[in-house]
């Protein structure tokens, strides 16, 4: 029996991180976000996975199932990580709340991944909501999908689809912070 052969490829590229500051409180931003994408209580992915693991999933059925969970800003919640639960143990951002939110739209991801399956590393998207030091303002931070998904591969259609996703994420962030 022969040993497996492995290789390692390193790609270097530049990513862009955007920070949007708002005078809205952390609670306001999170409430507006949940009103746009849902909450963990109604997170969509388990229902979508159940459909996909069913007897005969189809593209049409997948789209119909997913659309039930897509919010008014064209995204659904996949997961949340409340960093505030553990960061005080290390003295990180004392008194400030930090939440990482994984959100996306599987049909939008498909438009990008059709051009490059490796773009799936950047999908679904993520945002970080960080309470300001004064407890009044909030920062919403995200990385441009185009710089992550199309940063290495310079396929014109991939870049175009990725820029479209950048616009959608920016629209959501504008909605929750404005």
Instruction: State if pTM tops 0.85.
Output: yes
Beta pairing partners, 39 = none
Task: Note the pLDDT of residue 101.
Answer: 97
In tens, the pLDDT along 65-99 reads: 999 999 999 999 999 999 999 999 999 999 999 99
47 vs 60 pLDDT, higher one: 60
**CB-count exposure of residue 87 (10 Å: 0-12, 13-18, 19+):** middle
Q: How far apart are CA 18 and CA 120, in angstroms?
A: 20
Per-residue model confidence (pLDDT) at position 155: 82
- pLDDT, mean over the chain: 93
User: What residue ranges define each of the domains in the chain, with the CATH number in brackets?
Assistant: 17-177 (3.30.310.70)
CA-CA distance, 16 to 113, in Å (whole number)?
Answer: 20
User: Is 139:29 a contact under the CB 8 Å cutoff?
Assistant: no
State which of 44-48, 110-114, 154-158 shows the largest mean pLDDT.
110-114
pLDDT in tens, 155-172: 888 889 999 999 999 999
Is beta strand 98-104 parallel, antiparallel or unpaired with respect to 76-82? antiparallel
- Tell me the three state secondary structure of residue 102: strand
Instruction: Please say if the pLDDT value at position 153 is more than 70.
Output: no
- Evaluate whether 148 touches 15 at the Cβ level (below 8 Å): yes
Q: Which H or E element spans position 175? A: helix 156-177
Evaluate the CA torsion angle 121, 88, 176, 19 in order and state its sign. Answer: negative
Once rounded to an integer, what is the mean pLDDT over residues 22-50?
93
- The C-alpha atoms of residue 48 and residue 40 are separated, in whole angstroms, by 14
Q: Extract the tokens encoding 91.
A: 């003295």
Interatomic CA distance for residues 112 and 146, integer angstroms: 10
């Amino acid at each position: 029996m022969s040993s497996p052969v492995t290789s390692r490829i390193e790609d270097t590229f530049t990513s862009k991180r955007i920070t949007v500051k708002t005078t809205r409180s952390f609670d306001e931003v999170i409430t507006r976000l949940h009103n746009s994408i849902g909450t963990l209580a109604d997170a969509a992915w388990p229902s979508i996975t159940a459909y996909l693991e069913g007897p005969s999933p189809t593209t049409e059925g997948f789209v119909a199932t997913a659309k039930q969970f897509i919010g008014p800003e064209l995204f659904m919640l996949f997961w949340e990580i409340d960093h505030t639960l553990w960061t005080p143990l290390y003295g990180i951002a004392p008194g400030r709340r930090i939440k990482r939110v994984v959100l996306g739209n599987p049909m939008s991801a498909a438009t990008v991944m059709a051009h490059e399956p490796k773009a799936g590393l950047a999908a679904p998207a993520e945002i970080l909501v960080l309470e300001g030091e004064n407890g009044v303002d909030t920062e919403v931070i995200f990385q441009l999908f185009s710089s992550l998904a199309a940063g290495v591969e310079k396929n014109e259609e991939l870049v175009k689809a990725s820029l479209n996703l950048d616009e959608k994420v920016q629209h959501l962030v504008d909605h929750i912070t404005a």
